[in-house]
Structure 1
Amino acid sequence: MDTDDNSVPASILLYSTAAVILTIGMREIGSILGPIFFSIFFFLILSPLVHWLQRKHVPGSVSVGLVILFFIIFAIASVLLVTGSLLQLSAQIPGYQAQLMSTLENFERYLPSSDQYPVGGLLRDVGTFLLGLTAGIITGALSTGTTIAFIVITTAFLLLDAASAPKKMEKELKDQTVLLSRVTEFGKSLVDFILIRTEINLIGGIGTAILLLIGRIDFAVLWGFLTFLLGYIPYLGFYLAAFPPVLLALFKYGVLGAIAVFVGIWLVNLFIENVLFPSLAGKSLKLSPSIVFLSLFYWGYVLGGSGALIAIPLTMVVKMILESSDNTRWMAKLMESGGNKE
């Protein structure tokens, strides 16, 4: 009994030390790991399409080639759409800055101020910071072409192995039926979650774009695409995606218009997150809300801002690894939501 009691803190110390070392190591090579993880992420989304084509009696090499061609076309179209919109948006930033200053000056008269605490100057500083931040994001987005090309090429190579990968795994793990069963079950749940999340994000992005087109908000399609992309970030993604169109609505229609746009986007998000997503995903996530929230910051720290986009799939992988050993299964249990029962 004493040995077991003493081994618990020792095990916690050992696992904590290993986690810190692993985190530091992954952060050091985050610029390489990020694109690789995204390539695997896209592979998991597209591989079911390869298998679907094969079930329709399309030859293996042809099905993989068609999916790769589809992915390349989609990537090029997305890059052209985003790049073109961002270049136009970048050119209009000085005009938006003037509109923001005018809006803040009109708003300033309703706020208390003094010589010691000039509210107007503070508002102008905030406005300048927000537009500078937007410009920095645009510049960063326009400089990611090499990374996108690497992701596309890596995903294509992964898809080339999609047809034979299950057979290879089954052959290698034929004497480890339990491990094979766990890997298969986890792979299915992870792919199902990613596909459902992608479908939900697509509906949310299209709904948001239509709403903004009706409201005549500039670059509505771009903000719809941003809503689709940031939908992979739980809790925070909605606010990050809603900020740009709400800001443009403030320029165009004033405070009431901005509130109306925010409420419209919020209703779309409310429907897909609280009605549509639970009905499709059920309890497949099996992660507690606190773990989901903390994973955003952890993977964001390790891989940069893009890590938050794939934080949930990566956390599910970590949970699967912890479940694979009797010594660490208790950690996987701690990651589950309170409502999950074996």
Structure 2
Amino acid sequence: MQAERDEHDPSAAGSGNSKNSTPASDKHRGITYPKPLAILAGVVLAIVGLIALQQIASFVTPVFLGFNLALAISPFFHWMLRRRVPKILAGTVAALTVYALLILFVGLMIWSVALLIQELPKYGAEFNDLYRNLLEWLSGFGITQDALLAQLQGLFNPAQIAALLQSLMGNFGSVMSLFATLLVVIFFIFFDAVTFEPRMQRVRVEQPQVGAAFDSFSQGVGRYWIVTTIFGLIVAVIDVIALEILGVPLALVWGVFSFLTNYIPNIGFVIGMIPPVLMALLANDWVNALIVLAVWSIINFVIQSLIQPKFAGEAVGVTPTVSFLSLLVWAFALGPIGALLALPATLLVKAVLVDANPNARWINLLISSEPDLNPSAPKPERRRRRGSRPGSSEVGDAAAG
């Protein structure tokens, strides 16, 4: 009898299942926040993963760099496919294009370092004068630590810097090993690229969220490299012109350094600014050095901080703090090249662990540069029209989709 009353009494049935029912707010809540213990475990696993990654950085670095270069050149590859170029030929041309750019890139680095090795020892006398002036200035503050200053003199002596550059040039075998690995990785990436799109189409069907996350990552990283390269060239050309006007020696070398350091987020332009400012101080005077400092800072700030983000769009969708922390983390894990790959590596981790997981998307509220601060309200259920068959609206929605 009790079961019969429950069958005819909706309120009784509702009260009987109240313990197992889910509140409407929980049912429509799209974000699940993890417990503190889960967060702590995730942090520990991340630290262990970074330490393990550091041990195999010599393998991971060229592989990940190759994937990034392939993503950067992928618009050209897809452009050839749209022009009905055979897939094998398009992949070969794209790989050869990356090879040519890498050879040009390495050639510029070798030329710059060789020119520095040749020119820096010529400014030994100027450096000694600068050193004596620094001693006199420090003596006004009562600083007489001659031993420390002697060490600084040996550290920043142009001859010592030239010797350091020569040792870097001498470590040619490891550089060529990394370069050869990178070339092989790029070849196989474009060899597989001709059949990769059908596989991604299947992933988008089986796992739409994963497919969307990887599509967003590939498009964002490709756009990031293209925009960064274009604006790096623009900044380098303007810097060279400004340095030539100001009479700073080795202006072309500093332009190459400006272009290379443009790939390092947040602090790249500061690193690229130090050598030309020091050269202006050695070759000219402190007034010229201050002018170089001011002009360089204005040029790079206006272009990289104000203009470039408007073209990059959502390619780099993280806050400046996260960008800087990613620089430190990936430089620790992957070495100097990790500084160049910091943002793409962070975007890959974000795509895999955050964007592809609905329960982890709340992290975007903390790290995204443009977070969605207006949570979407649950959609009200549509009332079924009187006389319509059960399930007709769902069938219609499926047909429309």
TM-score range with shorter-chain normalisation?
A: 0.7 to 0.9
1:183 offset after TM fit, Å?
A: 2.2
1:314 offset after TM fit, Å?
A: 0.8
Match of 1:251 in 2: 282
Mapped to 2, the partners of 1:95 and 1:124 lie a distance apart of 20
The 1:179/1:206 distance shift into structure 2, 3 A limit, reads: same
Tell me which of 137, 140, 145 is aligned to 2:168. 140
Mapped to 2, the partners of 1:284 and 1:63 lie a distance apart of 25
Determine if contact 1:75/1:152 at 8 Å carries over to the other structure.
Answer: no
Tell me which of 283, 293, 296 is aligned to 2:324. 293
Query: 5 Å matches for 1:43-54?
Result: 43-54=70-81
Query: 5 Å matches for 1:50-69?
Result: 50-69=77-96
| 3-state DSSP of counterpart to 1:328 | helix
Mapped to 1, the partners of 2:247 and 2:93 lie a distance apart of 37
Q: CA RMSD in A?
A: 2.8
Determine if contact 2:248/2:276 at 8 Å carries over to the other structure.
Answer: yes
Match of 2:66 in 1: 39
With the length of structure 2 as denominator, give the TM-score of the two structures: 0.75
Determine if contact 1:286/1:340 at 8 Å carries over to the other structure.
Answer: no
1:216 offset after TM fit, Å?
A: 4.3
Determine if contact 1:104/1:120 at 8 Å carries over to the other structure.
Answer: no
Match of 1:267 in 2: 298
Mapped to 2, the partners of 1:66 and 1:312 lie a distance apart of 27
Mapped to 2, the partners of 1:140 and 1:8 lie a distance apart of 48
1:338 offset after TM fit, Å?
A: 6.5
Match of 1:22 in 2: 49
Query: 5 Å matches for 1:1-342?
Result: 8-113=35-140, 117-118=143-144, 123=149, 125-131=151-157, 132=160, 135-136=163-164, 139-140=167-168, 143=171, 144-323=175-354, 324-337=356-369, 340-341=372-373
1:22 offset after TM fit, Å?
A: 0.9
Mapped to 2, the partners of 1:7 and 1:150 lie a distance apart of 40
Determine if contact 1:242/1:262 at 8 Å carries over to the other structure.
Answer: yes
State the percentage of identical aligned residues: 26
| 3-state DSSP of counterpart to 1:218 | coil
- In structure 2, the gaps of 5 or more residues are 1-31, 375-401
Farther off after superposition, 34-43 or 70-79: 70-79
- In structure 1, the gaps of 5 or more residues are none
Determine if contact 1:111/1:119 at 8 Å carries over to the other structure.
Answer: no
1:142 offset after TM fit, Å?
A: 5.6
The 1:91/1:117 distance shift into structure 2, 3 A limit, reads: same
Mapped to 1, the partners of 2:128 and 2:326 lie a distance apart of 37
Mapped to 1, the partners of 2:266 and 2:161 lie a distance apart of 21
1:303 offset after TM fit, Å?
A: 0.8
Match of 2:386 in 1: none
Mapped to 1, the partners of 2:34 and 2:342 lie a distance apart of 31
The 1:103/1:333 distance shift into structure 2, 3 A limit, reads: same
| 3-state DSSP of counterpart to 1:190 | helix
The 1:127/1:258 distance shift into structure 2, 3 A limit, reads: farther
The 1:6/1:309 distance shift into structure 2, 3 A limit, reads: closer
The 1:226/1:7 distance shift into structure 2, 3 A limit, reads: closer
Farther off after superposition, 16-25 or 218-227: 218-227
Mapped to 1, the partners of 2:273 and 2:76 lie a distance apart of 31
Kindly name which structure, 1 or 2, has the bigger radius of gyration based on alpha carbons: 2
Determine if contact 1:36/1:154 at 8 Å carries over to the other structure.
Answer: yes
Q: How many residues align?
A: 337
Mapped to 2, the partners of 1:291 and 1:138 lie a distance apart of 36
Farther off after superposition, 231-240 or 119-128: 119-128
